[in-house]
Each structure stands twice: as C-alpha cells, then as structure tokens.
Amino acid sequence: MPRPLPRPGLRPRAIVFDLDGTLVDSLPDIVGSFQDAFTELGLTPPAAEAVRGRVGLPLDAMYADFAPTERIAALVDAYRRIYPQRFTRTSRPFPGVPEMLAELRGHGFLLAVATTKRSDMATRFVAAMGLTEALDHVQGTDGFPHKPAPDVVHRALAALDADGTWMVGDTTHDVGAGKAAGLATFAVTWGTHDAEALAEAAPDRLEPDLATLVEAVLG
C-alpha cells in the first residue's frame, strides 16, 4: 500500500502502535513459549496468569520474576528458539485491525509499530500476521532502553521523519512511553493489562478495544 501523500509545507503525522496485545492477539503464543522454556530446562513453569502481567517487558526482566539469576540467560535462549516455532499457532490480528489501519492511512497518517520485540523478530511477526503493507515502519527494541522509556517511540518517529500524535498500547509501559515521548495516549484493555492497572497510568483514552481510535485521533 502506498504511503499517504504529504501535507504541503507540513511534516507528516504519525501514530505509533504497540504490537502484541494491541494490534495482534498473541498472548497465548507468547505465554506458552515462555512456559515451554522452563519445561525444556527441567524447571516448573509459572502459571499463565502470572506471566501475562509481565508481557511487554524484556525477556530477562520477565524471567527474573520466576527463576534464579543463574538460569535467566538459558531461559531467554530457550524462548528465542521456541517462540519462532509457534508464534503463528494462535496469533491473529484483533478483529477490525486491518480495516482500522487502512482508515487511518486514508486520513493521511503514517503508522508505526514500536515494540519490545527485537526488530528482526517483530518484522517477521508483522509479515506473518499479514500487516506489513498496512504499516510504514516496524521498530523493535535493539540494545537501548525499553518502554516505559521513550526511546523506541522516538526511533520509530525518526525512521518516518514524522511528528508523533498518539501512542496506542495495551500496557502501562506503552502509556508511560507515549507520555515520555510527548504523545497523546490511547490504552486498550483487550490485551495484557486490565482496565484498573491502565487507569492508574492515566492514558488520555481508555477503551475496551480499538473501535473508537479513529474518532479519538480525528478529535
């Protein structure tokens, strides 16, 4: 899909999205891979609900909550072997996401992903979900501070040479990163963090899904 036409004399406007739990319903594959790494190493995996609340953090930080320090590196390595083998088992874009992205494109916005996944894996995942042509840039977190630091958001916007408008995500980390980057924030509860946790982060909009995002963006 071609990029939107630029506005004469103005920088393009961009919307930045988290990926997992925001655009794509991927938590079962992430949590299952996380648990399978424990099993592979002969360790007892934590409960799925306990893992779910940590999704969105870097892998080593996630594993640090459930395993001794000396096993974390091995668990991370195991996850990175396992996840690419099952990352499309159940993961699918949430209902209406491709249509919503197309509508935003039609209003002249550039669209970027800013995720804690590494860029190579994020790009593979976006392609597997059929969303490559719907997005203008996929930015992973590659050796720099993760959300809620704003670095991944800034890098996504720099890659587009655009002004950010909204950060859209499903975790308090996404809300924090968007605020730190100076963007308005739209949080959805169909992903990782529940409405109560997200409300404490005080996003500009808190919704059950992305149905009202276009309305919010157009103001």
Residue 1 confidence (pLDDT)? 46
33-92: pLDDT as tens digits: 999 999 999 999 999 999 998 898 899 999 999 999 999 999 999 999 999 999 999 999
**pLDDT of res. 53:** 86
Helix locations, the chain, DSSP H: 27-40, 48-52, 59-64, 69-86, 97-106, 119-128, 151-160, 172-180, 195-200, 213-218
- Sorted by where each begins, the domain ranges of the chain are 13-26+91-218, 27-86
- Residue numbers annotated as active site: 18, 20
pLDDT of residue 185: 98
Q: What is the predicted pLDDT for the residue at 6? A: 53
- The whole-number pLDDT of residue 9 equals 57
> Tokens in use for 6?
């630029």
pLDDT < 50 positions in the chain = 1-2
CATH tag for 27-86 (out of 1.10.10.10, 1.10.8.60, 1.10.150.240, 3.30.200.20): 1.10.150.240
- Element of type H or E holding 142: none
How confident is the model at residue 10, as a pLDDT? 75
Span 13-26+91-218: which CATH code?
A: 3.40.50.1000
Asked if domains 13-26+91-218 and 27-86 share a fold, the reply is no
Q: Residue 48, CB half-sphere, CA atoms under 13 Å: how many?
A: 7
d(CA 205, CA 174): 13
Q: Beta strand 109-114 with 137-139: parallel, antiparallel or unpaired?
A: parallel
Q: How confident is the model at residue 5, as a pLDDT?
A: 53
Is there a contact between 214 and 107 (Cβ–Cβ < 8 Å)? yes
